[in-house]
Every structure is written in C-alpha cells, then in structure tokens.
A and B are shown apart, each in its own frame.
Chain A
Amino acid sequence: MGASQSARTEHEFQDLADRTGFSLEQIGNLNKRFRQLSKNEETLSRQDLASISALDNNPLRAQIINAFFDKRNLRQNEAGTVQVIGFEEFLMVMSHFRPAAMHITEEEREKLRREKLRFLFNMHDTDSDGTITLEEYRRAVEELLSKAGTIGQETAKAIADAAMLEVASTTRGKMEPDEFYEGITFENFLQILKTFDIETRMHVRFLNMDTATMRCGK
C-alpha cells in the first residue's frame, strides 16, 4: 500500500474505532482477516464466509453466516438482508462480540446486555417480525442439534416446545385456554434470560497484536 493510501486507511480506521469501540490494532487485524476472506475484494459475500473450513463442523454455520448479512445487526434500524458487506459492516457485526469494559455503569451494562441479546434474538427471529414464533424456535433448536444425528432431530421439537412453554408461563403467567401466545417478543426474551449473564459471556478475544502464526487457514 502506498503512503497516501495507508494514511487514508488510518483515518478511516480511526473513524471506525470511534464508532465500534475496537482498538486500532484490532481493526487492523480484522481488516487483514477481512481481506483474506474476501480475497482482497472490498466486499465480502456469503460464499466467502461459507468457504471457511473451520465452520464446517459448526451446527450454527448457516445462522452465523446469515447474521453477518442481516441489516438489523448492522446497526441500521431496518429489516432485511444484504448480499455483500463491506469492512465496516463486518466490523459492526463483530462489535457485538466485544467484551464489556471494566468500569461501566449500571445503565451501560443494561444497554450492552440488550444489544447482545438483541443479536441472539435476531438470529432466532428469521422473518424479522419482532417475535420468535414456535416455528422459528423449533428451527433454531433443530439447527443446534443438527450434528447430533437422528436423536437430535427427534428431540429438537420437543425441546423447543418445552422451552416455549416455559417462556409463555414465565412471561404471561396464567393463560386462559383461548388465549394464544404468538411468540417470544424481545421483552420476553430479556425476561427469560434475566439470569443469563450475557454481558460476561458473549464475547471473543480480539487480538491486539498481529499474530500471523496463530491464524487458522481458510
């Protein structure tokens, strides 16, 4: 890269760092990875992500890849999907996985919590209508158990149903027989995962230094 270009990227990175909260080194590392994945293109497509061999064994492969192309996760308030993402979008999705800072106020913690749970919620809510219906939940559990062979498929439905019942009973209380619980809203989702310390659990370690040796191949 030429000097002028690197100056430009530096400026861009600084901008990105301000918006996403990543450090410059982390952004640099992620950028490298992005280029590696996108084969030096400006944009990343689904195929690029799907070609990561390490993902092959992941039961949530499709969902994870979808999450990267979901507009709701790109900090834009609209639903729908995009076909390709640029580096900025890539960073936006990744920023959901940043660990919490050491000293944060209670409000910030709550906000962080909501953000992270929102990401999970969006992964389940495939049709972006703001509720996770039983069908969607079932599909999510089925995916989760998709590597477990036949036992998994048989039990997945039952587990999703049980989980749904649980949500309904914890959030609604007693329900009349003719009432119908349409699905899990985000508020319900927050409520059932109240004891689930998402803010201390949903994060990965983003490397600060350049660790070419630790990279796994594509």
Chain B
Amino acid sequence: MSVRVALHSRSFLERGLLLLVILIFLEGTVLTLGAASSPDISAQDNTGGHDHLDDHRGIAGSHVHPNYTKKAFPVLSLDYHHIQVPFEISLWVLLASLMKLGFHLIPQLSSIVPESCLLIVVGLLVGGLIKLAGEEVPPVLDSNLFFLCLLPPIILDAGYFLPIRPFMENIGTILMFAVVGTLWNAFFVGGLLYAVCQIEGTYLSQVELLPCLLFGSIISAVDPVAVLAVFEEIHINELLHILVFGESLLNDAVTVVLYHLFEEYSGAGEVTPMDVVLGVICFLIVSLGGIAVGAIYGILAAFTSRFTSHTRVIEPLFVFVYSYMAYLSAEMFHLSGIMALIACGAVMRPYVEANISHKSHTTVKYFLKMWSSVSETLIFIFLGVATVAGPHAWNWTFVSVTVILCLVSRVIGVVGLTFIINKFRIVKLTTKDQFIVAYGGLRGAIAFSLGYLLDKNLFPMRTMFLTAIITEIFFTVFVQGMTIKPLVDLLAVKKKQEAKRSINEEIHTQFLDHLLTGIEDICGHYGHHHWKDKLNRFNKKYIKKCLIAGERYKEPQLIAFYHKMEFKQAIELVESGGGVKLPSAVPSQVSMQNIQPKKLPPPVAERALPQFTKGREEEIRKILRSNLQKTRQRLRSYNRHTLVADPFEDGWNDFILKKQRLIELEKKMTEMSNYLTVPGATPDSPTMCRARLASGSDFKAEKGGAKVIPDPNAFYNIKASSDGVPTIQVDLASPQSPDSVNMLNEFSKRGATGQGLGQREGADRDEDQGLMMKPAGKGEKGEEEGGNKNPGLMRCLSDPGPSNEDEEDEPFLP
C-alpha cells in the first residue's frame, strides 16, 4: 500500500497542480478503502488505481510531454542534488552544535583552551579531511554568507543585551578607541608595512602604498566575534569588557569607510586632500546613518510590539525581522550594518520588553542565544576550513612584520590614547586596564571576510594578504586568547561581580542618580547626570507613552525591578517544590516579624476601622511578599552560550493572574471601605492588632493540626468578603494566615465563637513567642506544625484552580 502511494506521488509530483489535487482525492479513497477492507478488495482497488493513473497519464502526457514513453517506474531513486544545499547546511550546523556539545563535556579542556581555538582546530581537521577525500573544499567563509547570515545574529545578540549603562558612561573612551585608535592602527600598520616592503631583499617591492593602507585598515579592526568569545570566558570586570567590546562594535564604521576609500583609490592611485575631507564626511554619514537606520527600525519594532497583545506567538519574530531589516537596509547604502543592528537592538529593548509577554521575552532570549552561538561556532570552524582551502602565499617578512606591527601599534595606540583620555575621565584607567585593553584586541573573521572580498585583478597580492590576515587572526586568537586568562589572574585584574543585584543596590543606584543630579544642580553646572535626568524624564513623559501599551509606562525603574524580583522569586518558589527540598544556600530565615518595629498600631477600635482597609491591604501584600522574598544572592551573569537557568518562566502567567486579581481586589476593598460603617465586632486588643498588622502572614496558625490547605483563591475571596460583609469581621483580628483566614471553609467547623476566640488566644500566645512569618520556601517549621503552607502556596502560584474567581468576585462589585 505504501509503495503504491509513494508510486503515485512520484509520478504525479512531476505533473501539474490538477493532478496533485486528484492524487489527494485518490489517496484519500485508497487509504480509507485499505483501512476498512480486506486485502482482495485492496488489490482490486489497486488495479483500479492504475486505471485512473493511466488515464491521467494519458491526459497529462498529451499536454506536457507529447513523446512520453512508459518505462519501469523507479521504486527508489537517489537525487542528492535536489537537497544538496540545505542538507549540507544542516550538516555544518549539526557539526557545529555537536562540537559545542562535545567541548562542554570535557571541562578540563575548555578551562585551558578557549572554545574559539578548539573550533578553529576542528575546522582545520574538517578541511583536511575534505581535502584528503579528494573533494574541493567549499568556499565556506564566503563574504556574502558571512555578512548576511553569520554575522547579524551575533551582533544583534550583542546589541540587544548591550549593558546600556556602562556603555553610555564610557561612550567617550569607547569612541576614542574605536575611531582614533582604529585610524591610528590602520595608518601605522599600513604605513610601516609599506616601508618594510620597500626594503631590498624582501621581494615585496611591487606592493604599493594604497594596498598596504587597505591591508592595514582591514587588519587593524578589533573583531567583536573574537572578543566576545574570549572575554566571555575570562569574566573580566564590566568596565574593561565594555571598553574592548564597545570598541570592537563601533570601529565597524571606521573600517567600512577606510576599506571603501582605499579600495576605490587603489585603482586611481591618487588621493587628494578633497578625498580626505570626503572620507571624513563619509565616515560621519556611515556611522550616524547606520545608527539612524537602526534607531528608526528599533522604534518601529517597539511601536509594533505595542499591538501584539493578541498574537503573542509572533511577537519574537518582530524583534528579529525588524533588526535584520535594519541591518540589510544599512548595508544597502553601505552604511555600518553593525552599528544599525546595535542601535536597533538597544533602542527597541526597553520598550519591547515592557510590551511583550514574558514567554515571548524568553523566546527572544533563547533564539538570540541559539543563533549567535551557532553562528559563532560556524564562523570559527569555517575559519579553520578556509585556512585549509585557500591558496596561500606565505611570505615570512610580510607575515611576521604584520603580526609584530599589529601588536606594537595596538600597545602604542592604547597607551597614548589612555594618556589623553585619562585627563578627562573621572575614573582613570590604570596600567593594568590598559594592558588588558591592548591585549584584548583580538582580530577575527570580519577581517578575513573583508580580505576575501578584495578583487583579485585589482590586488594581485590578495592571496598574500589573506595568508597574513589568517596568521594574524590565529596569532591573536590562539596566543593572546589563550594567555589572557592566566594573565588576568596573574595581574589580579578585577573580575566581574557575580552576584545578582540586590534590591538594596537597586534602591541606592536610583538614589545616587537623583542625589548626583541634585548636587550637580546645586553646583550649578550641567553635568552628565543633569542631561541623563532630562533625557529620562523626556523618555518617561513622551516616548514611553507612545511605545508602551497600557499603564506600564508609568512604572519607575525601581518598581519594575521590584516586581520582576517578586515574580522571579515567586515562580522560583513554585518550581523549587514549595520548599520541601530547601536549597541550602538560603542564607537565613529572617521574617518580617524580625524587622518590624514592635510598637505598631493603635489598639483602639475606632482607629482600627478607618485603617482597616489599609491594614488589610498591607496584610495581603505582606503575605504575598513574605513568601516572595528570598534574599539569596544568585549568580546571574549573562552568558551567550548558557542561558541563565530561569526556573521562573513557567507559572508566570498564573502568577500574573494572581497579581492582577489581587490588585483588583485591593481596589474593590478600597471602594468597599467607603461603605463600611459597622465597626469590627470585637475590639482589637493591642496584641491582636499587632498580630494582624505586624505579621500579616503568619502561617503557622492551625492549632491542633487541622490541616486545611488553603485554596489561595478562596483565601483572597474570603478576604474580600470579610471586607465587604461586616458580619465576618469577627475574624479579622485573628492572625491572618492563609490557613486561618480560610474562614468560610472553617466557619461551620468552628461553630461557636468561643472556639474562634480560643483560636485567637492560641494565636496570641504565638504572637507572644514572636510570630514568625517565614520567608518563602523555608517550610520545615511550617510542616512540623502541620499547617504546611507550602503546598498551598504552591497551588497559589502555580495553579489557579478550577474555582472561577470572577463569579465569586462579582458580588463584591459595588
């Protein structure tokens, strides 16, 4: 049966659409028949099918192939060419991924040798194998492939996750290195190379000045791919990382302009002062134009993401497509594509992140990491393969002079520029810093691809250039890349702080921003804090409003940070199994009780009433919060290859739901309070008040082990109802825990108020011992006491449960 179906499809696929439709019809009948009937019927059908087949063939044949002759039909045929290209691409990608997988299985290896080196070696081996097999090595690192497919993901990843703050704080230094430094390198290397080539006996006298300068401009640019690959492994401090990495990103414009300039004029031979001026203008256009193109696409992307709330699935796509469009548009005008991508990613990110769902955000993150990681792997492997493949023209003088000059010019450039920059910097660059910046100037595949682009007829020495470029790349990646890590350790260069930002730091970051702005204002000059503050306010007032949907644009950074933290901890809690298995890293168990001032609110009933809603709100918030705070310092450094384990992603939506519900509830409660006139039935004793207000989320309520696992939904609703319906207020003074608060469930159980009072007394006793609102996830004690809060909390956060809140909520709508 299956053979026949295959047979059908093979014969029909070569024909037109009409036949295809009939085929589907035919197959349908055949299949249903076959499934429903005995073999002989199927055989009968078989012949019938052939009849049909012949008919159609006759028709089709008369139309399409007039001289069609019937021959034995090939049951199985091989058509490799048909799928060759995608198949080989897949093979390469597979190879790259497997290699990456392999390296991480051997930790000893990757701790000594950077991955980039290993990948180049793999590339060399693969290239060697292809050559041994007698095949021609494919031109894998073709410039089109490189610039249009392999490079953009890496740059987008870098731009999207660019640490804006350090980048902007050091923009002057970065620009200095990127523009002046690269220019210096290009002219120094190019000029001296030319001088060396003129020396008798080097057999290089045919090399002219302009090609030398062109070569210099190609070889002088620090490569973002190589820098990323190496710097990510050495965990250098943020300042140095952003200096070297930022330079590698921003020097693209200089390289592009120099490259086109020299390529243009090496034919003409003459460079006039006018050309220099044009070159400068061109540089401005290329860099600023690139940024403008990127920013426009970035804003478009942000604006688009404002309206995607109904089609969440394609949200991530907008990020990628707009960015790629930005890159292509910039390349179309020979603007700096890299700068366009960086600008696009950096501009869109804050707005897009506020707009898209959490899952989409995760998707964006994963995809960017995946693509950039695979691209990078492929680039290094291809570098190896291209080394084997290429025709080489090895010239000892040229190659060694290139390598030496690159090092020398880099060192002079960095030291000289730092000398100037340090006059303006407030935080000076030390000698160690300078060394790392100089030593971290790795060259990479961009240089190779640019060299590969050179026209053979215009540049007869292209092969020699390529050889020298490859040697320089190998030198920097292998020698510098492998030794930089021990050197960083040896020099005790400050490493990246591997702790997650704590909320205190976030508070003080904000605090300091405002404080410094204020001091600048008092000093009476417009410093950069002043302008930053202006920009921030402009952003908040106008741009965010346009680009961010809903109310979120109003959220200040600190609050956003806090919410994020809250959500993460909540979801982490859910994922960790509600604290049954406690992570031992939790530093402590400190409760709200421990920090809460002992003398809290008012013992008087009539004061309790106006405050009632507030206290209640507090309470809910505290219950939530206390369970959400897990003050643990976590390692949360960004790495392109390993996604930070984010156990927070799932369960997010549920939590959002909860959160929204809670907010709604609070709103309702506020509204309700306007109608509340009946005072609480029982006067609150000071202790009770304290119990209620101070430790709203004491969880160890249930005395006697009445294990009522609270349905959190019910919990909230009952809170609401107890707010709304005065009669239930009897219970308000009792310690509010999800367990004990679950009053409706228990009301009947308790029956007499005396029992309730008794319970309250018990709670009071608890309170006297010091109620402990246990931070999230530290459940041992809670479990001991029977009122295991954790499963309940888990359910609270992970499973909204079948109860349909909305219905239950309705009665409370005013």
Evaluate contact between B525 and A216: CB separation under 8 angstroms: yes
Q: Is B510 an interface residue (CB 8 A)?
A: yes
Q: Is A173 an interface residue (CB 8 A)?
A: yes
Q: Is B631 an interface residue (CB 8 A)?
A: yes
Partner of A166, one of B524, B554, B558, B629: B629
Give chain B nearest CB distance to A140 CB in angstroms: 7
Evaluate contact between B775 and A165: CB separation under 8 angstroms: yes
A166-B625 Cα distance, complex, nearest whole Å: 12
Q: Is A133 an interface residue (CB 8 A)?
A: yes
Evaluate contact between B518 and A192: CB separation under 8 angstroms: no
Known A-B contacts A169-B590, A172-B588, A196-B508; the reply to A181 vs B595 at CB < 8 A is: yes
> Could you say which of B526, B590, B633 has the most chain A C-beta atoms within 10 Å of its C-beta?
B590
Evaluate contact between A97 and B525: CB separation under 8 angstroms: no
A190-B770 Cα distance, complex, nearest whole Å: 29
Known A-B contacts A97-B519, A159-B558, A175-B594; the reply to A216 vs B625 at CB < 8 A is: no
Known A-B contacts A60-B518, A158-B625; the reply to A120 vs B511 at CB < 8 A is: yes
Q: Specify which chain A residues have a CB less than 8 angstroms from the CB of B566 in the assembled complex.
A: 162
Q: Is A201 an interface residue (CB 8 A)?
A: yes
Partner of B524, one of A33, A123, A141, A165: A33
A157-B615 Cα distance, complex, nearest whole Å: 13
* Interface range on chain A (Cβ under 8 Å from partner): 35 or more
A180-B593 Cα distance, complex, nearest whole Å: 7
Partner of B562, one of A36, A54, A64, A158: A158
Q: Is A4 an interface residue (CB 8 A)?
A: no
A114-B175 Cα distance, complex, nearest whole Å: 33
Evaluate contact between B515 and A60: CB separation under 8 angstroms: yes
A58-B520 Cα distance, complex, nearest whole Å: 11
A119-B428 Cα distance, complex, nearest whole Å: 23
Q: Specify which chain B residues have a CB less than 8 angstroms from the CB of A178 in the assembled complex.
A: 769-770
Q: Specify which chain A residues have a CB less than 8 angstroms from the CB of B587 in the assembled complex.
A: 169-170, 173
> Could you say which of A49, A151, A158 has the most chain B C-beta atoms within 10 Å of its C-beta?
A158
Partner of A94, one of B510, B523, B589, B770: B523
- Against A, the Cβ 8 Å flags (1 = close, 0 = not) of B756-789 are 0000000000000111100100000000000000
Evaluate contact between A58 and B502: CB separation under 8 angstroms: no
Evaluate contact between A151 and B555: CB separation under 8 angstroms: yes
Q: For window 11-68 of chain A, which residues contact chain B by CB distance below 8 Å?
A: 30, 33, 36-37, 49, 52, 54-55, 57-61, 64, 68
Q: Is B456 an interface residue (CB 8 A)?
A: no
Q: Is B559 an interface residue (CB 8 A)?
A: yes
Partner of B559, one of A57, A159, A196: A159
Q: Is B332 an interface residue (CB 8 A)?
A: no
Q: Is B621 an interface residue (CB 8 A)?
A: yes
Known A-B contacts A200-B427, A201-B512; the reply to A152 vs B521 at CB < 8 A is: no
A99, closest chain B residue (CB)? B426
Partner of A204, one of B505, B529, B562: B529
In the complex, the number of residue pairs spanning A and B with C-beta atoms less than 8 Å apart equals: 201
Known A-B contacts A52-B522, A60-B511; the reply to A155 vs B516 at CB < 8 A is: no
A134-B593 Cα distance, complex, nearest whole Å: 12
Evaluate contact between A151 and B554: CB separation under 8 angstroms: yes
Give chain A nearest CB distance to B603 CB in angstroms: 19
A196-B525 Cα distance, complex, nearest whole Å: 26
Q: Specify which chain B residues have a CB less than 8 angstroms from the CB of A33 in the assembled complex.
A: 522-524
Q: Is B47 an interface residue (CB 8 A)?
A: no
Q: Is B527 an interface residue (CB 8 A)?
A: yes
A158-B505 Cα distance, complex, nearest whole Å: 16
A126-B602 Cα distance, complex, nearest whole Å: 24
- Against A, the Cβ 8 Å flags (1 = close, 0 = not) of B558-602 are 110010011000000000000000000001111111111110000
Q: Is B504 an interface residue (CB 8 A)?
A: yes
Evaluate contact between A169 and B519: CB separation under 8 angstroms: no
Evaluate contact between B525 and A207: CB separation under 8 angstroms: yes
Q: Specify which chain B residues have a CB less than 8 angstroms from the CB of A214 in the assembled complex.
A: 525-526
A170-B592 Cα distance, complex, nearest whole Å: 14
Give chain B nearest CB distance to A208 CB in angstroms: 11
A160-B499 Cα distance, complex, nearest whole Å: 20
Evaluate contact between A162 and B518: CB separation under 8 angstroms: no
Q: For window 180-204 of chain A, which residues contact chain B by CB distance below 8 Å?
A: 180-181, 192-193, 195-196, 198, 200-204
Evaluate contact between B554 and A149: CB separation under 8 angstroms: yes
Evaluate contact between B590 and A175: CB separation under 8 angstroms: yes
Evaluate contact between A163 and B504: CB separation under 8 angstroms: yes
Q: Is A107 an interface residue (CB 8 A)?
A: no
B781, closest chain A residue (CB)? A177
A33-B596 Cα distance, complex, nearest whole Å: 44
Partner of B631, one of A58, A102, A166, A196: A166
A36-B629 Cα distance, complex, nearest whole Å: 48
B617, closest chain A residue (CB)? A154
A157-B507 Cα distance, complex, nearest whole Å: 12
Q: Specify which chain A residues have a CB less than 8 angstroms from the CB of B558 in the assembled complex.
A: 141, 144-145, 159
Q: Specify which chain A residues have a CB less than 8 angstroms from the CB of B521 in the assembled complex.
A: 52, 54-55, 58, 216
Q: Specify which chain A residues have a CB less than 8 angstroms from the CB of B594 in the assembled complex.
A: 168, 172, 175, 177, 179-181
Q: Specify which chain B residues have a CB less than 8 angstroms from the CB of A167 in the assembled complex.
A: 504
Q: Is A164 an interface residue (CB 8 A)?
A: yes
Q: Specify which chain A residues have a CB less than 8 angstroms from the CB of B497 in the assembled complex.
A: 195
Chain B contact residues, CB within 8 Å of chain A: 422, 426-428, 430, 497, 499, 502-505, 507-512, 514-530, 533, 537, 554-556, 558-559, 562, 565-566, 587-598, 618, 621-622, 625, 629, 631, 633, 769-772, 775
* In the A-B complex, the 7 residue pairs with the closest CB atoms: A178-B770, A177-B772, A54-B521, A177-B770, A169-B588, A102-B428, A64-B518
Q: Offer 11 A-B interface pairs, CB within 8 angstroms, sorted by A.
A: A97-B516, A102-B422, A134-B597, A144-B514, A162-B629, A169-B775, A177-B772, A193-B504, A201-B512, A205-B528, A214-B525
